[in-house]
Every structure is written in C-alpha cells, then in structure tokens.
Structure 1
Amino acid sequence: MSSLDDDHTGTRIKRERKLAHLTQRQLAARIPFSYSLLNQVECGARPASPDLVAAVAHALRVDVTVLTGQPYVTELQRDRLAELVRPIREALDLYDLGADDTITIRPVPQLLAAADDLCAQVRAARLRNAARALPAVITELTSTAWGTPSTELWQALASTYRTAHDVSVKLGYYDLSAVALDRMDWAAQRASDPCLAAIRQYMRALVYFREGEYTISQRLISVGHHVLAQAGDTRETQAVAGQLHLGATVIAARARNESALASHIGQAAEIADRIGDASDVHWLSFGPTNVAMHKMSAAVEMRHYEDALSQAGSIHLPADLATSRRAHFLIDRARSEMETGRTEAALKTIVKARRAASEQTRYHPGARETISGLVHHSRRTLDTLTNLASWIGL
C-alpha cells in the first residue's frame, strides 16, 4: 500500500512541537502517552487517536483543528459544501438587528416545522440539506421572533442555532460552532427554557472535551444539571439530565476518572430504564440504546478496545436509530478493530459507516485517522482501501 502523504496529523504535531522548541521526549513528558507512540504518530506509523490529539493540543496550547487540519477545505470544496458555510455565518450575525420587513417570511407553523426538519436532517446525517436550508430558516425566525415574540418562536430559533452548531462541528468549522452556541444561549434566555439552556451547556462541554479541557467540561455538565433543577421533574428534564450524564461519561473516560465514569453511566442507565426511549425529546436520541453506545464509547476512550468490541457485539441497533448515531457507533467500532489488529473487519466497518452517513464519515477526524491507519498497516493493495484513502484526500 502507498505511504501516507506529508500532510497528516502526525506531521502537523511534529511541526507544532518544533515551533514550541520541544523534543519528542519533552512533549511526551507533558502528555499521558509514551515517547514511542508519539514517535510512531509523527512519522505516520500509527494513527493519532482523538485523545492523543487533544492532549498534544492542550500541551502545546493550540487548537485541535491546527493538528487535525480541519476544516478539510479541499474535500469540502469538491463536495460544494464550503460554499454553504458563509450564508450560515451571515445568518447567525442577524440576531440583534430586529425585524426585517424586506424579506418574505413563511407562516409561523411552517417555520416551526422547518426548524424541526433541520434537526431531523442532522440526525439523518444529511448535512448538505441542513446547511442549504439553515440560513433562510434562521433569517425568517429571527425577524419573526423580533416582530411578534413568543416562547415557541424563541425556542425554534434556539433550535436552529443548535443545528448551526451541529453542522459546523461535523464539517470542522469549530469557530463557527462557538458563535452558534452563543446565539443559542441568547435565544434560550428569551424563551426562558431551562432544557434548551442545559442542552447548550452539554454542547459546550463537548467542545472543551474535544480540546482536552476536561475540568471545564465537567464544570459545564454540572452547570447544566443546576439549570435543569429549576425546571421541575418531567420526562423532558429527565431525558436532558440523562444526556448530560452521557456527556459526562465520555469526559470522565477521557480524563481516566473511572469512578466518575461508573457514576454517570449508572445514573444515565437508571433514567433510561425509568423513561425508556426518549429520542423524541429535543432530538437527543436518549434511551437505553444510547446509554449502551456511550458505555462502549467510554471503553474506546479508555483504550479498552477488546472490551469495546465485546460490548459492540451485544448492542442491537434499532432500525429507527438516528443515522448520525449509527455512523458514530460504526466509527468507534472500526477504530477498536484496527487497534486490535482486526484490519479487515475495520475496513468493512468503516465502509458501512460511509454507506450509512457519507458526509459525516468523510469529515470525521476519527474515521479519517482509522483509514490512515489501515493504509499504513495494509500489506497489500486493496481496491476498497485505495478508494477510501482517495476519498479522504490521502
């Protein structure tokens, strides 16, 4: 199999390390990874796992995207997705301009349905559809909410800002996702909706999680629970609380805090057992299946890959599971298979992820690193792997 090109995560780590005037041994001493592994990652012999990338970014005081190379502009331009980002950015900047009587606005019921449909498109991993429709919905809802303010309009606007965050993250535009979350907070406050406010804290926690800031992530989860405490005990608040616990589970796993991990996954499981599937609540996919999937993801984050695969084998994915969650599960499984030497199985699994959610998989750093790892370890040229490597720009 052909070797990796010179623009992979390992070479970016090497470049940033040298700019920081650190040797490999000096950098390895600052992160919870060995010198040997760091050396292999820098030369492309091993893929850079998300936790290693986050640890290096934290140690070198750079954004994770500097190391991952996100957004992957070349592929985004080829897919005609890059051109959809600027309209989203512009729509997010309209938040304080009041009503606009120069635009045509759909009736409120249609706008509310459009906001819901955007969430559905993201869950179905149809990023292009969501990105294309998003600016108009944000623009119209912003004007309508200012002209005839109501709780449901502010809630719908907060939901569209959340979709802007989701799309931005999945396409690798983390700066834009931060703006979207600020707007979500702005709208949630006007809606006086503690559940939306708590979901926003959950999403902020995952942003810091990706950057290796686990203490801040844990504090944001705690703030989310505090906000929910003001809303009373309903099925809605329980589902959101459960999702906060699931976020805290993977954060604790990445931070190697096994007691916190066990506590949060246990509380999430208890809520899921009590309320059952709650995927209808704020498009969170919360329920027993999602708890099992997060428990497996925690094993992956702990680098307990055999355990993760054992769990994966016993997880039944319902037919109506959100495509975005199905793809995430498959990407986690492929990483575990690759790390345990099951390269043929990993290749088949990543192909399944691509078939399920092509856009999400193509722009997922973990999927790309898994494909890179398979390229390096493959002892013979496989048409499927060659195709995948070309697909992500190797």
Structure 2
Amino acid sequence: MYSHPHSHTGARIKRLRLERHLTQRALADLSGVPYSTLTKTEQGVIAASPHVIACVARALRVEVGTVTGQPYVDELRADELDVLILPIREALDVYDLGPDPEITPRPWPLLRADAYKLLLGVRAGEVKQAASQVAGLIQEVTTAAHLTGSTDGWQTLASTYRTAYDVAAKLGYGDLAAIALSRMDWAAVNASDALIGGMYRYMRALTYLRSGQYRTGDRLIARGLSVLEQADAGREREAVTGQLHLGAAVLAGRAKDAARAEGHLAEAERIAGRTGEAVDVHRLSFGPTNVAVHRVSVLAELDEYDRAARTGRAVTLPQDWPASRKSHHYTDLARAQMWTGDLDASFQNLLRARKAAPQQAKYHPTVRETYAGLESAKRRLPDTFLSYGNWLGF
C-alpha cells in the first residue's frame, strides 16, 4: 500500500483498541464484529464497512468520526473550507437572542430566494459555496423571523438551518450537524409546520444510523410518521412519508433485518407509484428513482453485494437528477463492486462519484474506504488511480 501507513481506518481502530487495552478478540466480542473481519480490517486487508465502523465506535465509546478520521482537517485546510466552519457555528448559536439591532434584513422574497438557492447548491454538490454563504444568511433570516414572527419567516429560517446541517454533515462535523438539526426543529415548531417536523426526524434518524443506534433511529422514524399525520393530505405529505420509509429501510438494512428493510422499501415503492418523481418536493428527491437507489444501498448494508451490484447497474438516473444524489449512488455501487472483486468497475464508479459532485465525494468516508479497499487488493489498476488517491489526500 502506498498510502500513509497509519492513516487508514483499520489502523485507527487498532490504535484506539490498544489505548483501551483490549485484545482483538475482546473488541470483536464487545462490538459483535466477527474476529476475522476485525483482524483483516485492522491490517488494511479489507475496507471497513459503515456497519463495522459504527459497531466498533460504540464498543470503544468514541464518536464515529474518531474512527473514520473525520473531519479530514488537512484536506479541509488545503481546500480553505476549515475557515468556514466557525462562522456557521456562531450563526447557529444566536437563534434565541431576538433580532440583531445591527442587521437590517432584506425583503422576504429575496431571503426566500437565497435560502432556496443554497439548498439547490448543496444538491448540486457545491458544498463550499453553500458553506461560505449560509452563516450570513442564517443571521439575516434569524433577525427577520424574530421581527415578523410569520410562518413563512420561520419556514425560511428552517431552510437555512437545513443547509447548515447538510454542509456540516458532508464535511464531517457531526456535532455541528446535530446543532443545526436542533435549530431546524425549533424553527419548525415556531412555524407549526408538520412537514418540516417530519423531515427533521428523518434527518435526525440518519445521524443515529451513522452511529449504529438503530433502535433510536427507528423510534425517530416512527415519531416522524406520527407528526406527518398532522400535515395536510396531499403529494407533499406523501413524498416526505415515503422518504421516511426509505430512511427506515436503510436503518433496517444496516441492522441486518432484511424482512423489515424490504417492508419499508415496498411501502416507499407504493407511495412513489402515486407521487411519481417528486424531486422538488422539499428537495428530498423522492420518487421511483430514489426508491431504486435506496434498494441498492439496503442490499449493500445487508452484505448482499452481488445483488447490490446487479441492481445498481440496472438503475437509470434521470439527466436532471441532483448531482449530490447521483454521486451518492455511484459511491454505493462502487462499494458493492469492490466487495465482489469487480475492481475496474468499482473505480469507474468512484470516478463518476467525483465527476458528479467532487466536493461531496472528496469528504465522503465511503469513497475513502472503497478506495482503500481497491488499493489493498494489490491488483493492476489504471494510472489515474494514484492521482485519485492524491486528490483524496492519501
């Protein structure tokens, strides 16, 4: 391997294990990860799956980011992204102070347009641009919302908090993402908006998915479905409901509960049959395509990599589908193909993930783990492979 010998996730797991004075056998028993899987992961022979990472993190009582190495500070600094985090943190912290006397907010149509533009930017994979603008917009909209107290104002503020969550989550700042979510919920309550309340619980459930707390994630999904019953019936409510079922399916897949995962996928598919492609409904990208790509994700979480790869190859992404979602699908497909030994196809999908949304792909832990898995295979790979690793910071 030509990457730094102590930079891969397996090496971090070993270091953390030794700090806890645990043998490999003891950690395997504590985490529920098979002994052979743990030893090969520590050695860098196989990539660390999200399930293994979450199980090990919980057993060692550390954050998932501590195991994955997030946030990737050196790369963030090189890309001048690290300096954008503190302003977002400060903007999220003044939510309850009322209007700022030094801010004169612009008219609501302009604020709404900017909030929508930032959401679209994140969907297009323009993470840096959104990160550079969201803090100032949060402060301006916070003042405007407090001054008017209107439902529309609180909804717009919730939108800016959602963008802050997306930026923080994509750059690996889990604590900041959690704060942004709590602010989103606060704004949703002020707006009395059940749809935003349902989306908040969906997004919060994903944070528990990453940390391996599947039961808590399931409880949040159930609560979200209950909150959505308070919203007006219609396509919007159905799309958000369907997205909650997709989140529940991935949770069940990572928990290795195939039957429950299939049940949620089937329900989401039924709903998508009624809504059609509802890509613009609250920017959730819900619809038949999203159900199809989530099926690939679920199969990969169930370690059914052959089926995931076959299913993924059959998925046709619409030309106008959001770049961030395209990149995520290519990442999932690359992971499945890496585990099946289809190394060339896997790397091609890593390239597609990068092309679709480069800033997102660069900081996605699954991209890095898949690249490490391809590297450890020690087979002949294209000349572009080394440059890809350099781009990632390996």
Q: Would you say same fold, with TM above 0.5?
A: yes
Aligned pair 1:161/2:161, yes or no? yes
CA drift at 1:26? 1.4
| Counterpart-to-counterpart distance in 1, 2:124 and 2:187 | 25
| Counterpart-to-counterpart distance in 2, 1:205 and 1:161 | 17
Name the residue aligned to 2:367: 367
| Counterpart-to-counterpart distance in 2, 1:78 and 1:224 | 39
| Counterpart-to-counterpart distance in 2, 1:276 and 1:166 | 25
Name the residue aligned to 1:134: 134
CA drift at 1:31? 3.1
> What amino acid sits opposite 1:345 in the alignment?
A
> What amino acid sits opposite 2:50 in the alignment?
P
| Counterpart-to-counterpart distance in 2, 1:92 and 1:122 | 18
| Counterpart-to-counterpart distance in 2, 1:3 and 1:165 | 31
Name the residue aligned to 1:5: 5
Judge conservation of contact 1:4–1:372 (CA < 8 Å) in 2: no
| Counterpart-to-counterpart distance in 1, 2:262 and 2:373 | 31
The one-character-per-residue Cα deviations of 1:132-154 (angstroms, maximum 9, x if unpaired) are 11011101100001111110110
> What amino acid sits opposite 1:334 in the alignment?
A
Q: How does 1:65-214 map to 2 (within 5 A)?
A: 65-214=65-214
> What amino acid sits opposite 2:20 in the alignment?
A
CA drift at 1:3? 5.2
| Counterpart-to-counterpart distance in 2, 1:65 and 1:75 | 15
> What amino acid sits opposite 1:87 in the alignment?
P
CA drift at 1:103? 2.2
Judge conservation of contact 1:47–1:372 (CA < 8 Å) in 2: yes
> What amino acid sits opposite 2:383 in the alignment?
D
CA drift at 1:5? 2.1
| Counterpart-to-counterpart distance in 2, 1:323 and 1:41 | 31
Judge conservation of contact 1:3–1:376 (CA < 8 Å) in 2: no
> What amino acid sits opposite 2:296 in the alignment?
M
Name the residue aligned to 2:55: 55
CA drift at 1:30? 2.8
The one-character-per-residue Cα deviations of 1:256-276 (angstroms, maximum 9, x if unpaired) are 112211111111000000111
CA drift at 1:110? 0.4
| Counterpart-to-counterpart distance in 1, 2:104 and 2:87 | 17
Judge conservation of contact 2:258–2:302 (CA < 8 Å) in 1: no
Distance 1:3 1:282, change over 3 A: closer
Distance 1:329 1:381, change over 3 A: closer
| Counterpart-to-counterpart distance in 2, 1:28 and 1:4 | 25
The one-character-per-residue Cα deviations of 1:42-63 (angstroms, maximum 9, x if unpaired) are 1111111111101111112211
How high is the TM-score relative to the length of structure 1?
A: 0.98
Judge conservation of contact 2:344–2:381 (CA < 8 Å) in 1: no
Structure 1 gaps of 5+ residues are none
| Counterpart-to-counterpart distance in 1, 2:222 and 2:376 | 41
CA drift at 1:68? 0.4
CA drift at 1:383? 2.5
Task: Using the TM superposition, name which of 227-236 and 310-319 deviates more.
Answer: 227-236
Distance 1:39 1:321, change over 3 A: same
> What amino acid sits opposite 2:279 in the alignment?
S
Judge conservation of contact 1:4–1:375 (CA < 8 Å) in 2: no
> What amino acid sits opposite 2:46 in the alignment?
R
Q: How does 1:1-394 map to 2 (within 5 A)?
A: 2=2, 4-380=4-380, 382-394=382-394
Judge conservation of contact 2:6–2:12 (CA < 8 Å) in 1: no
| Counterpart-to-counterpart distance in 2, 1:37 and 1:4 | 22
Task: Using the TM superposition, name which of 337-346 and 213-222 deviates more.
Answer: 337-346
Task: Using the TM superposition, name which of 272-281 and 95-104 deviates more.
Answer: 95-104
The one-character-per-residue Cα deviations of 1:210-249 (angstroms, maximum 9, x if unpaired) are 0000000000000000101112422111111000000000
| Counterpart-to-counterpart distance in 2, 1:381 and 1:109 | 52
> What amino acid sits opposite 2:321 in the alignment?
L
Judge conservation of contact 1:4–1:376 (CA < 8 Å) in 2: no
> What amino acid sits opposite 1:251 in the alignment?
L
| Counterpart-to-counterpart distance in 2, 1:164 and 1:41 | 33
> What amino acid sits opposite 1:47 in the alignment?
A
Task: Using the TM superposition, name which of 104-113 and 157-166 deviates more.
Answer: 104-113
> What amino acid sits opposite 2:118 in the alignment?
L
The one-character-per-residue Cα deviations of 1:101-127 (angstroms, maximum 9, x if unpaired) are 312422210001111111100110100
Judge conservation of contact 2:164–2:177 (CA < 8 Å) in 1: yes
Judge conservation of contact 1:166–1:177 (CA < 8 Å) in 2: yes
> What amino acid sits opposite 1:332 in the alignment?
D
| Counterpart-to-counterpart distance in 2, 1:57 and 1:196 | 31
| Counterpart-to-counterpart distance in 2, 1:132 and 1:273 | 38
Q: Cα RMSD over matched residues?
A: 1.2
Aligned residues: 394
Task: Using the TM superposition, name which of 6-15 and 281-290 deviates more.
Answer: 6-15
| Counterpart-to-counterpart distance in 2, 1:275 and 1:67 | 39
CA drift at 1:35? 1.1
SS in 2 for 1:282: helix
| Counterpart-to-counterpart distance in 1, 2:105 and 2:4 | 50
CA drift at 1:28? 1.3
> What amino acid sits opposite 1:68 in the alignment?
T
